[in-house]
Amino acid sequence: MAKTKSLVGQKIGRLTVIERVDKDKHGNIRYLCHCECGNKNYIVTGSHLRSSRIIKSCGCYRKEKKGPKIDLTGSRFGRLIAIRNEGLAWLCRCDCGNEKWVSGAYLRSGMTKSCGCLRCDRTKSTAIDLTGKQFGKLTVIKRAENPNDRNAKWLCKCDCGGEIVVYGQSLRTGDTRSCGCLERGRPKKYGIG
């Protein structure tokens, strides 16, 4: 087995190798390094030092590359205003009054602009009006409002006189064709008797 050359005295990225310390639990040689940022107690394996793509600093380089932590308090993102931060998430208050935790990255990129109410409003404005249309035994009377549901529901009157609230998709696909009276009048599938 070839003897591994010592890294003591070498400068790798921002790290200067000071001395060999010990071996880790896998038998890899570990070195004490001083970083340019002032950290003088950074210990790393020789294999990680030799592959400079893995280790360039004590971690300060990654933090600098990420940039300073940005305070978003009071900033507006669509309908959301950032109130306070915990780790990577921000508690935001929506214009509708709801509060929601959102990733800072999602806020800054524009991926999240509301507590979910914006999507509901878009769904309402683009929903197909089914009022007055007939689906099986059902006639659509009006849209049934449910602020917590993104899918359009419709109040329907059945030919038998009953009423039912049904998702628009269930009406259009034919999954729901009555208030339930069609099912009650149908014989059981597996034999009569």
Tens digit of each residue's pLDDT (9 = 90 or more) over 145-175: 765 566 778 899 999 999 999 988 889 888 9
**Is 2 part of any domain?**
no
- Assess whether 112 and 142 both reside in one domain: no
In a domain, 177, yes or no: yes
Domain containing 95 equals 76-119
What is the spatial distance between Cα 28 and Cα 63, in angstroms, rounded to a whole number? 27
Q: How many domains does the chain have?
A: 3
Do residue 52 and residue 28 come from a single domain? yes
Express each pLDDT in 73-120 by its tens digit.
Answer: 999 999 999 999 887 788 999 998 999 998 888 888 888 888 888 776
Residues 53 and 85 in one domain: no
pTM: 0.36
Q: For residue 191, is it within any domain?
A: no
Structure tokens at 79: 């309908």
Residue 58 burial (C-beta neighbours within 10 Å; 0-12, 13-18, 19+): buried
Q: Are residues 58 and 87 in the same domain?
A: no
pLDDT value at 14 more than 50? yes
In a domain, 81, yes or no: yes
Residue 4 included in any domain? no
